[in-house]
Structure 1
Amino acid sequence: MISEVQYGGRVTDDFDKRLLKTYVKSWFCDEMFDANFQFEEKAYHIPKITRMDDIFDYIDTMPNYDSGKVFGLSPLAND
């Protein structure tokens, strides 16, 4: 559903739709709920948080800019 309907917008370009579907297949999987799962970049994981304040604190620790590695791109993508 995420790859077909985006909150507040839409993807109209066929190549962009294909890319978004690829990201969704890679990132939204059953394994992401395993206790030790981490995304490509070690900074990204699903924290075990139950309180809303802790969620906001966790979000505040995230970087403002992502490296290309997060999206499966070469580190040279940032250059």
Structure 2
Amino acid sequence: MISEVQYGGRVTDDFDKRLLKTYVKCWFRDEMFEPSFYFEDKTYRIPRMTRIEDVFDYIDTIPNYDSGKVFGLSPLANDRSF
């Protein structure tokens, strides 16, 4: 549904559609709702809270800058000397 409806049919290139569907299959799966689930580098998880204050507290723990590892890149991606 996300790959077809969320973008309102605005993804018109067939290869882009395939890529979006691949991302959806990769990231949106049943395991993501398990309490032990974390995304790529264990920095990000799906918060399990019901109070808005807890959501704000969780947001405050999210880093301001993402490491390259989050995107599946080599640790060298963080090297700013290039």
Q: TM-score, normalised by structure 2?
A: 0.70
The aligned counterpart of 1:22 is: 22
Partner of residue 52, structure 1: 52
d(CA) in 2 for partners of 1:66 and 1:9?
29
- CA 1:14/1:8 → structure 2, altered by over 3 Å: closer, same or farther? closer
Cα RMSD, aligned residues only: 2.6
Q: Deviations over 1:13-58 (max 9, x none)?
A: 1111111111111111110111101111211111221111221332
Residues in 2 aligned to 1:8 and 1:60: alpha-carbon distance in whole angstroms = 31
Greater relative contact order structure (CA < 8 Å, 6+ sep): 1
Counterpart amino acid of residue 6 in structure 1: Q
Q: Which has the higher helix share?
A: 2
CA distance in 2 between partners of 1:3 and 1:43 (Å)? 25
Whole-angstrom distance in 2 between the partners of 1:66 and 1:41: 10
User: Aligned partners of 1:15, 1:65: CA distance in 2, in Å?
Assistant: 30
> Percent sequence identity over matched residues?
77
Name the counterpart of 1:74.
73
TM-fit CA distance, 1:64: 4.5
Distance of 1:2 and 1:8 partners within structure 2: 9
TM-score by length of 1: 0.72
Question: Which runs of no fewer than 5 residues in structure 1 stay unpaired?
Answer: none
